Structure 1
Amino acid sequence: MTVTVAIVGRPNVGKSTLFNRLVGRKIALVDDTPGVTRDRREAEGHIADLTFRILDTAGYEDVTDGSLEDRMRQQTELAIKEADVILFMIDARAGVVPLDQRFAQVLRKAGKTVHLVGNKSESKAAESGLVEAFKLGFGEPIALSAEHGLGMSELYSIVSQAIDAAALVQDAQAIADLEDMPEIDVDITEDMLEGEGDEATLRWNPKRYLNVAIVGRPNAGKSTLINRMVGEDRVLVGPEAGITRDSILVPWEWEGRVINLVDTAGIRRRARVQEKLEKLAVGDSLRSIQYAEVVVLMLDATIPFEKQDLALADLVEREGRALVIAVNKWDLIEDKNAALAALKEACTRLLPQIRGVPLVTLSGLTGKNIDKLMDAIFKIERAWNCHVSTARLNRWLAGMVEGHPPPAVSGRRLKIRYMTQAKTRPPSFILFASRPDALPTAYLRYLTNGLREAFDIQGAPIRLWVRAGSKNPYDDVSKRKLG
């Protein structure tokens, strides 16, 4: 049984620092500047043997004017509604300020279990602030230091009690459900079983998770697309460029599969990134590419294939991730046929290293063609996981070499021995030849393009390594079998 714990409070009291400590790694951006966190972020938290869902939230601002701060406040209030346990954090060194008192009123109206946490309590300077915190009306505050790990035992007790209480409620509900459940007969067929005889058990088919990162330049519509896909305002959107800072993971189910959508900060050219916070946000986005399986590069249909778009596509290919190009704001384009033809031509010309990469036009605002985007994601995932048997690979290689033999270098002909696949994700092959260093790049490109066409690996990155080899070991195996 698990529970949801939300960390809330005004800006710059240390919520993200505690979030990172409970998660066990630095996944939320932390800086002395107030208002670093803007979206609500969730992850799996741990204290000793306890596991729970933890929510990090934006600093609470008491505004209702439709501004960015107002939208951040709404995200925080949604986290409060989802939470089973609320950790209301104040800065113990600063004491209670008017915004803390206003937030306390909001929490009392929420009707949730609230525990007051006085962060930055590692020094005597926090003592007066902890005493002052009693007037907020949530009892004795927990003296905590998120940075130094003080107060974790008190948090353990709070979360443990919440988990026990939730388990009791779940057990009572399960008993009630059993009493109301009619008796049914289930026919179990052989394909549902695993094992034989008396030891046969029902086969377990777990859902597969797919990590999909949405990347692109600022204001390309990444957050709008994710909100449309999940059907709720899960991440902040607005006309302001650069709203998203943290990479936010949003689980979503599509056709029976759980898709972990990762919204990332917009990535500008390095020369334009000056502020420390933007550098942190861009670094977080680049790490999201490394941990993703499929990366959706979002382009703005009105200004596609800017220099930064090409740099991001090249980065995804070098990282070995599967790539899908999504051209957003397609509803703004008048002559769609001409624009699509120009896009495909530009994609082929500007990105030859990922030949055949899927390109989908869509509108994140209206949701048009999201189904086509998901089809492209699943197709490129299959190509990214492609595995070719050694026998089939070498039959193909023999035909390629016969049709176009490698050129002679310095009067000596190069000999191609054999090929084998080393791994998938991305498809990686080892080619054994008599003189690896002398094999021309153009010939390797000829083989790579042949692999794409023969085994339907269009659009996925391919790794082709050349090694020295004097003979084909698989020929010896065949001879032994024949003998």
Structure 2
Amino acid sequence: MKPIIAIVGRANVGKSTLFNRMVRMSVDRTKSTAITESIPGVTRDRNYVETEWDRKKFIVIDTGGFYAEEISHGDKEILRQVREQAMFAIEEADLIIHLLDAKEGLMPSDIELADILRKSGKKILWVVNKIDTQSKEDRLLEFYRIGAEEIIPVSAVTGYGFDELMDKAIALIPKDMETKPSEDEIPRVAVVGRPNVGKSTLINSLLGKKRLIVSHIPGTTRDSIDSICSYYGKRYLLIDTAGIRKKGKIYSQKIDIEKFSIVRAIRSIERADVAIIVLDASEGVVEQDQKIAGIVEDYGKGVIFLLNKWDIIREPEIYYKEIIQELKNKIWFMDYAPCITTSGLEKKRITKIFPIIDEIIAERQKRIPTADLNKFLSKIIAVKPFPPYKGRELKFFYITQVGIKPPTFTIFVNYPSGVKAHHIRYIEKALRQEYSFKGTPIRIYVKSR
């Protein structure tokens, strides 16, 4: 698993600007990139990104804003939001960046938040934003009242002090938490989904025993729990997604579990070979389901959609057509994923999962010979020639498979800029028609020869 850095602070201190700079400036620009397209409302608007600095990979998360204590309207709700965000940082992060505002100075809510974060025992960097020259660093003095031994000046807009901040951050976070070697021998299956869709009930049914706490209260799973399941002599590692912890005085406020469940899913998904996305069939496909599916796609994992609680569906034959169409409309970017209906509570059709897992893992490891791929490419271009680029012929020289898990391809052309996102989608669709790749994303990169 990769370490998590969370950026917290009041509203308008520059958290999103710093987040964007960390993502934009810390990526390895020597790597070729896939042609992608923004998908509004899925995960491309997410507030987390996997990135790297100095060859160390991590996940950076931008949290919501905290409001000043002196605001009189809705004090209780504001304080609840403050504690929700603090809990998020405390629960999820390996390192917390507490961002402060040099122009507004130290506020009471900054001190309150600092106290909450300090009690967490997590590693914290105290960073003052909006300082873009050395002459303005005298503004740091008042922030030492927060109780920090070191205050780091930075300008998220201009980049002043950014390299120093990133070097300090990387020195404090743990190295990538690698998967245990023993786990590599068996398929790793993450069971993910919104709170209270039946993830723990499903795993308990698969295991044949009550391994996990099951409750109607969302978020009762307290930690990521690994369980070994055996099906016809073959073992599988099932990873249940953790909920949000509630303990101690810091966690006394009611929290919005829906808001933070996605971040917990990241940890499970990145460890997995295949993700089972559990949907509540009685509620249909909601935005949170779209976001979780987008994470699985981003991480290049295999996927199965599981429509749970099918036992309470009236007229299932009619409803099945409706919800499958809804799934295609809302999570269209995963039209390659198989979907099954089940009831974790009544243990109906749950064992159908295992043969599909095996099939998807085989598809993720499939390799296509370069000669076959080039025959395929010539065939689809002959059927549908690509348009010229700036008046010049767009030539496809050859295609080769460069990786697996997920299957990854590189196409060499004379003008990479001439290959658009819809061209890639056309090639991907044709690849799937020819070679299946059931249940797994594929990656297609374009390079000049």
TM-score (norm 2): 0.55
Task: Give the conservation status (yes or no) of the 8 Å contact 2:262–2:292.
Answer: no
Secondary structure of the residue aligned to 1:408 is coil
In the alignment, the residues of structure 1 paired with residue 254 and residue 439 of structure 2 have an alpha-carbon distance, to the nearest angstrom, of: 34
CA RMSD of aligned residues (A): 2.7
Name 1:441's counterpart in structure 2: 421
- Say whether 1:388 aligns with 2:365: no
Question: Is the Cα contact below 8 Å between 2:194 and 2:258 reproduced in 1?
Answer: no
* Structure 1 residues 216 and 351, CA gap change in structure 2 (3 angstroms): same
Q: How much has 1:405 moved relative to structure 2?
A: 1.2
Q: CA deviation at 1:356?
A: 2.2
**C-alpha separation in 2, matches of 1:392 and 1:256:** 36
Q: Kindly report which structure 2 residues correspond to 1:266-415, keeping only aligned pairs within 5 A, or say none.
A: 275=255, 283-415=263-395
Structure 2 distance, partners of 1:284, 1:241, is 14
Match of 2:198 in 1: 221
- The 8 Å contact of residues 215 and 265 in structure 1, kept in 2 or not, is answered as no
- The answer to whether the 8 Å contact 1:213/1:261 transfers is yes
Inter-partner Cα distance in structure 1 for 2:279 and 2:262: 17
Alignment of 1:11-410 (within 5 A): 208-265=185-242, 275=255, 283-410=263-390
Q: How far, CA to CA, are the matches of 2:431 and 2:308 in structure 1?
A: 31
- Matched letter for residue 437 of structure 1: S
Q: Which letter maps to 1:211?
A: R
CA shift in 2, pair 1:421/1:332, >3 Å: same
Q: 1:310 to 1:276 in 2, by over 3 A?
A: closer
Question: Is the Cα–Cα contact under 8 Å of residues 265 and 282 in structure 1 kept in the other structure?
Answer: no
Question: How far off is 1:311 after superposition?
Answer: 0.7
Distance in 2, Cα, partners of 1:286 & 1:349: 24
Amino acid at match of 2:285: F
What letter corresponds to residue 229 of structure 1 in structure 2?
L
Output the amino acid matched with 1:463.
Answer: R
Change (3 A) 1:403 1:276: closer
Distance 1:355 1:419 in 2: 24
Residues 247 and 285 of structure 1 are in contact (CA less than 8 Å); yes or no, is this contact kept in structure 2?
no
User: TM-score of the superposition, structure 1-length normalised?
Assistant: 0.51
Contact 2:274 2:357 in 1 (8 A): yes
Distance of 2:337 and 2:259 partners within structure 1:
29
Q: Hey, what does 2:437 align to over in structure 1?
A: 457
Which of structures 1 and 2 has the bigger CA Rg? 1
CA distance in 2, matches of 1:463, 1:383: 14
CA distance in 1, matches of 2:427, 2:259: 40
CA contact 2:195–2:257 (8 Å) conserved in 1:
no
Structure of greater relative contact order (alpha carbons < 8 Å, 6+ residues apart): 2
Instruction: Name the CA distance, whole Å, in 1 between partners of 2:318 and 2:295.
Output: 29
**5+ residue gaps in structure 2?**
5-182, 245-252
In 1, Cα distance between equivalents of 2:364 and 2:441 = 7
Which of 400, 406, 425 matches 1:420? 400
1:451 is paired with a residue whose SS is: helix
Q: How many angstroms does 1:351 deviate by?
A: 2.1
Question: Relative to 1, partners in 2 of residues 1:351 and 1:214: Cα closer, same or farther, differing over 3 Å?
Answer: same
**1: CA distance, partners of 2:364 / 2:218:** 33
**Structure 2: which amino acid aligns with 1:382?**
A
Alignment: residue pair count: 263
Deviation at 1:275, TM superposition (A): 4.5
User: Residue type of the partner of 1:285?
Assistant: A
Q: Distance in 2 between matches of 1:453 and 1:415?
A: 23
Whether contact under 8 Å (2:225, 2:242) holds in the other structure is no
Match of 1:432 in 2: 412
**Percent identity of equivalent pairs:** 34
Contact 1:358 1:380 in 2 (8 A): no
Q: Is the 8 A contact 1:321 1:425 kept in 2?
A: yes
Distance 1:450 1:300 in 2: 32
> Contact (CA 8 Å) 2:309, 2:342: kept in 1 or not?
yes
Work out the CA distance in 2 between the residues paired with 1:388 and 1:331: 41
1: CA distance between counterparts of 2:260 and 2:422?
40
The Cα shift of 1:282 comes to 5.5
